[in-house]
Amino acid sequence: MTETYVITPNYNGKQFLKNYFETLLNQSYTNFKVIFIDNSTLEDSYKYIMQNHGEELKNGKIIFFKSTKNYGFAESNNLGIQMAFKDKECKYIIFLNNDTCLKQDFLKKLVSCVKRHPDASSIQPKMIWATNPNLIDSAGLEYSKNGLGFNRGAYKPVDMYNEEKEIFGCCAGACLFRREALEDVKIDEKYFDEDFFAYYEDFDLALRCRWAGWSSWYSPEAEVYHYKGASSGINSDFTIYHNWRNYTWTVFKNIPTFYLIKYGFLIFLCELIQLFINIKRRKIRAIFKAKIDAYNNLGLFMKKKKKIKKSVKFEKLERWFILKWKANTPDKLK
């Protein structure tokens, strides 16, 4: 019986695999398997795993899937979920970035927490910024009335956020999801929205879980170190394009029309600010392409909106919405 599956997409991330595999395979909780989805254009990730963890490949502890293209974060994780759910004994899915390093009791703490909260769709660990381990990377997701998504506690001192409590949702860079919740909120047999490719897909999933009546919880005792933005760069054209295109899709897919009318001025202002900031950064092509593609495809997302399972009134979602315009920034990046 395998209770838990860890799913990790990889894109040319060999430099992170030593810490990732050594800390993952040395967990105090052992009832898990790893599904490693390799989107790399290089072959060195597989060679590294064969040379250093060949026994785990042979005995099935590590399940390696080599893709023929870069599926992106959303589709790679969906593929991993489908593979894991072939095992009828699978209860939990842990999404884990390749650029992570785990405390030895990380998996044990996550599984213990989800068992304490039977209505929880997901459990968020304390993600610590590996570049500066005195600071938090994420203690969960926050969603603003203007449609912006934020990492709760980002760049705050690591000794903060020590209370186990209910939160809006979980960052998919490292978190646990209950199988029943993923099955409950899927649309057209998809868990993450594959049109997103990368970025904001976890906010979309968190909103859908909330619509279906599931909760999310934060487990501060489960700690993981994360090298933020390692694969794509936080200010790259790739990140700017996907982040700000998917921002728009998330809003119009998940938020009711009456709310869009009521708070449309906040969303419109946010769209203008995104344009202004990225023009100033000389990311003109990336931001205009993001917005053109976002609005050209709104019809598709309005159709998806009709398929979202809605078991609770919107007020239960809205009570989690904050009003925030700017993410916390570490001093060294200001």
173 CA to centre of own chain: 5
Q: Which two tokens stand for residue 282?
A: 């000389």
Q: Which residue has the higher pLDDT, 233 or 50?
A: 50
Span 153-184, pLDDT tens digits: 999 999 999 999 999 999 999 999 999 999 99
Region 29-39: what's the mean pLDDT?
Answer: 97
pLDDT at 334: 42
Residue 235: which pLDDT band, with cuts at 50, 70 and 90?
confident
Region 230-240: what's the mean pLDDT?
Answer: 75
pLDDT at 232: 52
Region 199-222: what's the mean pLDDT?
Answer: 98
Q: pLDDT at residue 25 above 70?
A: yes
Spatial contact of 37 and 8, defined as CB atoms under 8 Å apart:
yes
Q: pLDDT at residue 317 above 90?
A: yes
pLDDT at 43: 76
d(CA 236, CA 239): 5
d(CA 12, CA 294): 28
d(CA 224, CA 228): 12
Domain ranges, ordered by start, for the chain: 1-334
pLDDT at 233: 57
Q: pLDDT at residue 231 above 70?
A: no
φ and ψ at 108, to 5 degrees? Answer: -60, -45
d(CA 7, CA 35): 5
Single pTM value for the model: 0.95
Residue 229: which pLDDT band, with cuts at 50, 70 and 90?
low
CATH number of 1-334: 3.90.550.10
202 CA to centre of own chain: 4
